[in-house]
Structure 1
Amino acid sequence: MNIHPLKFLITLIPIALLAGCGGGSDCYYNMDSYGSVSSARVFYPCGMENSSELHHVTTLSGGLSNTKENMYWLAGHLVENNDMVVFAISASSNTSVGNYERAHKSAVEMIESERNNPASPLYLRLDKLALMGYSMGGGAVLNAAHDLGSEVDAVVAMAPWEPSVFLGDVTADTLAIVGENDIVASPAYAEGAYGNLPDGINKAFMKLDNFGHLQWVGNTGSSTNTVAAKQMISAWVDYNLNGSGSALNSLLNPPSAVKVNENNL
């Protein structure tokens, strides 16, 4: 397990009664508020509690005015295609990068608590940790990765809004991905983040053809650019957390909807 033990005692966080299946291979349960997280839905591969297999885990958030529901499309995709556990979160305050940064850090504490909770289907079954966020949440995961250091193994920042320029000591392998038509979170933010990351990690900056800011919210479409976004995020996880050679090939030879692909892989 690459999530380092917390330096203080975390009490077990109560799980809400609602649980179910997402219609495919993903099951879920809801969690109450904790720290800077107002609510969370935990997506996981159905039946993992009956297996000793370890699963990678990620936080996931939207951005300004968003809630966890806006990112369920990606949570389900990651469970079904990457066999991941996903903590989709709503921030207690969703109006700034700083608030989202605190929410992701709270979610990391929630993950550690569930890993050590004998009543949780995740008990002792979590492996490497990723952080994923969109817009303000995208800037937040970059900043959180800077603060959390080696606790974090991979980062996906989607259309990141105003991340810190102080990213030179980030140790997590990081993908910054944005749409070329984004007039809210300019592609310059993502490219600037890529440039500020150290050369000693796997990192990439990708720009999607004909893709705007709001296409990341509830992205359930089947257009070539929305499919490419999901493919590249899945490949990033698979390569950097599992060492998949085929995923590396996908990242180095992305679909045509990826118009810019700068990387250090």
Structure 2
Amino acid sequence: MQASPQPVTPAPRSGPVRHRRRSRGPLLGALASAAALAGLATTLTGGANAAPNPFERGPAPTEASVTAPRGPFAVSETRVSRAAASGFGGGTVYFPTSTEEGTFGAVAIAPGFTARQSSIAWLGPRLASQGFVVFTIDTNTTSDRPASRGDQLLAALDFLTRTSSVRDRVDGDRLAVMGHSMGGGGALEAAKDRPSLQAAIPLTAWNLDKSWPEVRTPTLLIGADGDTIAPVRSHSEPFFESLPSSLDRAYLELNNAGHFAPNTPNTTIARNSISWLKRFVDDDTRYERFLCPAPSASVAEFRGDCPNTG
């Protein structure tokens, strides 16, 4: 069991579950622009085939495919020893075995306070099988704070793209970060420090810094309604609200879940993480319809700018 920094008991929550669907936002604005361009292209070419998205990987998604334990890609893995790593504590790289579709976007994932990569290992093959290179890392020490974990996530991405044995499979322009607890706080730190990142997904994130107006990376925050270690009212919710309103951002609150929900296979976390990474790392608009889940047995609340999927 992962130890936890400064447990806090959340204030009682009241009122109805919220599911915010704003009529306009950066993602929807992009959709409108894309639609206008598509219409212009059709007018000019008479419906000729538009140029395909060069970053799409895998078949068209379905609800079954984004919730399945494994995606369409066979996965291999390779260990990176602590001795071979520079700036982080080593880890495991999971990657699609085939190279027929070209290079892939990549994501580095950090564990939480006192934890090792084994606590987030399930995400490695789950995400890699959907068409990503995934690096689950160990930190230099298990007590490293969020700012250090952010630096280590970036060091891991640099290793992955410059030194690793799979660097020729990675598109260095399409990178993302994830993390649990202090690792989630580290994902925010990494996004702040490297605006070129394409996506960030903090999972039940913990950080003493509550304000992130500097972030320019599309960010999905996943909290848990029963989290007493990083209560959503003092962590994930203020993190989300502090992000620029012009940013593609979302907040999903797991229903009947606690701080350690990201440490075991979780379909809701996987479904939404896959869709967020596909949309913003792969520019794959086929996944937009999965970005805004309604409240359900697994989702207590969702806030974000939702595309109009008809």
- Scaled by the length of structure 2, the TM-score of the pair is 0.69
- 1:110-149 correspondence runs (5 A): 110-114=159-163, 120-123=165-168, 125-126=170-171, 127-149=173-195
Whether 2:292 is the aligned partner of 1:252: answer yes
Distance of 1:240 and 1:254 partners within structure 2: 21
In structure 2, the residue matched to 1:44 is 95
Structure 2 gaps, min length 5: 1-72
Q: Radius of gyration: which is bigger?
A: 2
Q: Which amino acid aligns with 1:131?
A: V
Task: Identify which of 160, 170, 181 aligns with 2:215.
Answer: 170
Whether 2:271 is the aligned partner of 1:231: answer yes
In structure 2, the residue matched to 1:108 is 157
Answer 1 or 2: which has greater strand percent.
Answer: 1
Number of residue pairs the alignment of both structures matches: 228
Distance of 1:164 and 1:183 partners within structure 2: 18
Task: Identify which of 218, 226, 243 aligns with 1:181.
Answer: 226
Q: Which amino acid aligns with 1:77?
A: R
Q: Which amino acid aligns with 1:42?
A: V
Q: 1:264 to 1:123 in 2, by over 3 A?
A: same
How far 1:169 sits from its partner (Å)? 2.2
Q: 1:166 to 1:183 in 2, by over 3 A?
A: closer
Q: 1:90 to 1:183 in 2, by over 3 A?
A: same
Q: 1:255 to 1:53 in 2, by over 3 A?
A: farther
Whether 2:305 is the aligned partner of 1:264: answer yes
- Flag the structure with more relative contact order, 1 or 2, with Cα contacts below 8 A and sequence separation at least 6: 2
Kindly indicate whether the alpha-carbon contact (under 8 Å) linking 1:63 and 1:133 is maintained by their aligned counterparts in 2: yes
Kindly indicate whether the alpha-carbon contact (under 8 Å) linking 2:104 and 2:169 is maintained by their aligned counterparts in 1: no
Whether 2:136 is the aligned partner of 1:85: answer no
Distance of 1:263 and 1:85 partners within structure 2: 27
For 1:8-45, what per-residue CA distance to the aligned partner results, in whole angstroms no more than 9, with x for missing partners?
A: xxxxxxxxxxxxxxxx8210111123233111111100
Distance of 1:239 and 1:123 partners within structure 2: 22
Q: 1:59 to 1:163 in 2, by over 3 A?
A: farther
- Scaled by the length of structure 1, the TM-score of the pair is 0.80
Kindly indicate whether the alpha-carbon contact (under 8 Å) linking 2:102 and 2:169 is maintained by their aligned counterparts in 1: no
Distance of 1:180 and 1:29 partners within structure 2: 36
**Structure 1 range deviating more: 166-175 or 83-92:** 166-175
> Helix, strand or coil: the match of 2:92?
strand
How far 1:88 sits from its partner (Å)? 0.7
Whether 2:111 is the aligned partner of 1:62: answer yes
Structure 1 gaps, min length 5: 1-23, 221-225
Kindly indicate whether the alpha-carbon contact (under 8 Å) linking 2:211 and 2:238 is maintained by their aligned counterparts in 1: no
CA RMSD, 1 decimal: 1.9
